[in-house]
């Protein structure tokens, strides 16, 4: 322990008692890398150009920190990129996060910034600041479990980590869903332990199919798009066979 100098203070010919020594605080819990990789989009074994999602997931003292950097063209063809950092609890339920997205237009860059946070009562709130300065705020009506179903594949790790007792998670904002049990997804000629898990939105009946391998996210199929980790065309073929 470091020594703390005591300073004598003279007042009215008397000495004040020394200030108490503050106890040393424990160092913050170190993070450990839990998973990392790059997701790509595959269509009939053709890798889409200029489209990828690099991710790192760190185990923290009270949950996870997810860092994602991506690039993908807009539907109109302009190149885009961005990054997001999301802090979650042990069940990959969001605590707070921020995202920045940049669309590179001929006239200049359009930058959109967004945040998400969990309130004390369990509700999730979000705010989006568009490139033109307009602001859009939203909040769930009650506690929500996950923040999935958007453009970030990495967030689907929640499906792979949820145990079989999780059957009806609420997805922000207030979307009722059903989560099917794990089902084997055999890859012929390999001993890989890959399983599929399907999340279905109750109202729209939209489905997200996550491919999970040893508790980690290996890929997904959603909106007719197949996404896998770099180099895993074998899984892409199986996903396209069964789910497209």
Tell me the C-alpha distance between 183 and 244, whole Å.
17
pLDDT bin (cut points 50, 70, 90) of residue 25 is low
pLDDT at residue 30, rounded to an integer: 85
The answer to whether residue 21 is domain-embedded is no
Residues 6+ apart with CB under 8 A from 176: 168, 170, 201, 202, 203
- pLDDT above 70 for 233: yes
Residue 80 preceded by cis peptide, ω within 30:
no
- Position of tokens 């789910």? 243
Tell me the C-alpha distance between 156 and 208, whole Å.
9
The answer to whether residue 190 is domain-embedded is yes
Task: Report the number of distinct structural domains present in the chain.
Answer: 1
The answer to whether residue 204 is domain-embedded is yes
Tell me the C-alpha distance between 211 and 227, whole Å.
10
The answer to whether residue 7 is domain-embedded is no
Tell me the C-alpha distance between 122 and 140, whole Å.
9
The answer to whether residue 71 is domain-embedded is yes
Instruction: State pTM to two decimals.
Output: 0.86
Range of the domain at 37: 30-243
pLDDT bin (cut points 50, 70, 90) of residue 244 is confident
- Position of tokens 């302009």? 78
The answer to whether residue 2 is domain-embedded is no
pLDDT in tens, 59-113: 999 999 999 999 999 988 999 999 999 999 999 999 999 999 999 999 999 999 9
The answer to whether residue 12 is domain-embedded is no
pLDDT in tens, 121-135: 999 999 999 999 999
Q: Of 61 and 11, which is predicted with more confidence?
A: 61
Q: What is the mean pLDDT of residues 164-192?
A: 96
The answer to whether residue 14 is domain-embedded is no
- pLDDT above 70 for 173: yes
């Amino acid at each position: 322990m470091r020594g703390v100098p005591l300073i004598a203070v003279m007042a009215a010919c008397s000495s004040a008692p020394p200030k108490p020594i503050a106890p040393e605080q424990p160092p913050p819990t170190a993070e450990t890398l839990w998973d990392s990789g790059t997701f790509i989009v595959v269509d009939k074994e053709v890798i889409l150009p200029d489209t990828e999602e690099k991710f790192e997931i760190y185990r923290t003292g009270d949950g996870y920190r997810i860092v994602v950097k991506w690039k993908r063209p807009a539907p109109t063809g302009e190149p885009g990129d961005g990054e997001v950092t999301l802090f979650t609890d042990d069940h990959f339920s969001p605590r707070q996060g921020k995202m920045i997205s940049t669309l590179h237009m001929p006239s200049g860059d359009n930058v959109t910034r967004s945040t998400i946070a969990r309130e004390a009562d369990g509700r999730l709130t979000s705010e989006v600041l568009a490139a033109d300065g307009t602001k859009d705020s939203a909040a769930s009506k009650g506690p929500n479990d996950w923040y999935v179903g958007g453009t970030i594949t990495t967030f689907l790790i929640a499906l792979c980590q949820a145990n079989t007792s999780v059957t009806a998670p609420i997805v922000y904002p207030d979307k009722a869903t059903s989560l099917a049990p794990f089902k084997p997804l055999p890859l012929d000629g390999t001993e890989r332990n890959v399983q599929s898990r399907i999340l279905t939105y109750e109202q729209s009946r939209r489905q997200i199919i996550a491919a999970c391998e040893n508790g980690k996210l290996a890929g997904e199929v959603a909106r007719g798009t197949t996404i896998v980790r770099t180099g895993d065309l074998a899984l892409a073929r199986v996903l396209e066979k069964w789910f497209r």
